[in-house]
């Protein structure tokens, strides 16, 4: 595997379910990100991890819970979501999250539908 | 309040011609600008970037122009090819917040034969 991978690619869940999204990067990067893309809206940054420590939480509701066990893996745990949380969830990684030229590389995304 | 704006949701260009995608921003503290390309069912792919100290950066068929006084950047694709058909996102970041990329809403480019 190369680049940034995400599983599952598609997920349908009820509002009472608990599920997790997984992201893995094979680029040797130290920073990882979760983004949300809703229809007709720009990508919104949710969380940033640098060296496995959360450095940014962009006012995300607590029903979204990130976890970064090591610099290659990032999870987004989901529980009691709302239908308006249906969106494309994208993971990205970058070298270290510092420096203005630090470029982010994205995974293919998980298309989440909340019923 | 959107800090990065792509006012054209779509653009259609004939193969071989130039494609010009535009992006405007409001935050004068932005120092670095990027363009990403996104195909359906894939994540955004980094295409080209430009620092605020430059006004042009070129990479093969892709050139990005930056006009800081107008807070405007554009991506030129010459010549356009059918494989360039995708959604193009403009993004920006500031020196004081380097892990935060601010994205525009995207422009869907269609290159027809």
What is the reported pLDDT for A2?
74
Distances in Å between the Cα of B96 and the Cα atoms of A9, A23, B30, B74 are 34, 27, 9, 24
Q: Cα(B11)–Cα(B13) distance, rounded to whole angstroms? A: 7
- Minimal C-alpha gap between B53 and chain A (Å): 12
Q: Cα(B4)–Cα(B27) distance, rounded to whole angstroms? A: 8
Residue in A4, A45, A106 closest to B100 by CB: A45
User: Taking residues A1-24, what's their average pLDDT?
Assistant: 92
pLDDT band at B97 (very low <50, low <70, confident <90, very high): confident
Length of chain A: 115
pLDDT tens for each residue of A34-83 = 999 998 889 999 999 988 788 777 789 999 999 999 999 999 999 999 99
Tell which B residues from 54 to 73 touch A, by Cβ distance under 8 Å.
Answer: none
Closest Cα partner for B44 from B110, B107, B112?
Answer: B107
What is the reported pLDDT for A102?
84
What is the reported pLDDT for A113?
95
pLDDT band at A1 (very low <50, low <70, confident <90, very high): low
What is the reported pLDDT for A54?
80
- Minimal C-alpha gap between A110 and chain B (Å): 9
Q: Cα(A1)–Cα(A20) distance, rounded to whole angstroms? A: 21
What is the reported pLDDT for B21?
98
Inspect the interface and report whether the beta carbons of B46 and A104 lie closer than 8 Å.
yes
Q: Cα(A98)–Cα(A56) distance, rounded to whole angstroms? A: 13
A28–B contact, CB cutoff 8 A: no
Q: Do residues A33 and B72 make contact, with C-beta atoms less than 8 angstroms apart?
A: no
């Amino acid at each position: 595997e190369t680049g940034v991978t995400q599983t599952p690619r598609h997920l349908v869940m009820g509002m009472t379910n608990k599920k997790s999204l997984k992201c893995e990067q094979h680029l040797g990067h130290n920073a990882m990100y979760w983004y949300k893309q809703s229809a007709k809206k720009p990508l919104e940054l949710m969380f940033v991890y640098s060296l496995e420590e959360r450095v940014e939480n962009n006012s995300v509701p607590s029903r979204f819970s990130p976890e970064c066990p090591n610099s290659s893996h990032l999870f987004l745990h989901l529980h009691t979501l709302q239908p308006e949380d249906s969106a494309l969830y994208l993971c990205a990684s970058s070298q270290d999250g510092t420096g203005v030229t630090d470029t982010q590389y994205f995974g293919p995304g998980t298309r989440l539908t909340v019923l | 309040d959107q800090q990065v704006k792509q006012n054209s949701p779509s653009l259609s260009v004939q193969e071989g011609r130039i494609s010009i995608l535009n992006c405007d921003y409001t935050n004068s503290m932005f120092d670095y600008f990027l363009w990403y390309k996104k195909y359906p069912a894939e994540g955004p792919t980094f295409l080209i970037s430009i620092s605020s100290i430059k006004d042009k950066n070129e990479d093969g068929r892709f050139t990005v122009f930056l006009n800081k006084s107008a807070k405007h950047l554009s991506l030129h694709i010459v010549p356009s090819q059918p494989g360039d058909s995708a959604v193009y996102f403009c993004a920006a970041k500031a020196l004081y917040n380097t892990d935060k990329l601010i994205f525009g809403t995207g422009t869907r480019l269609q290159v027809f034969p």
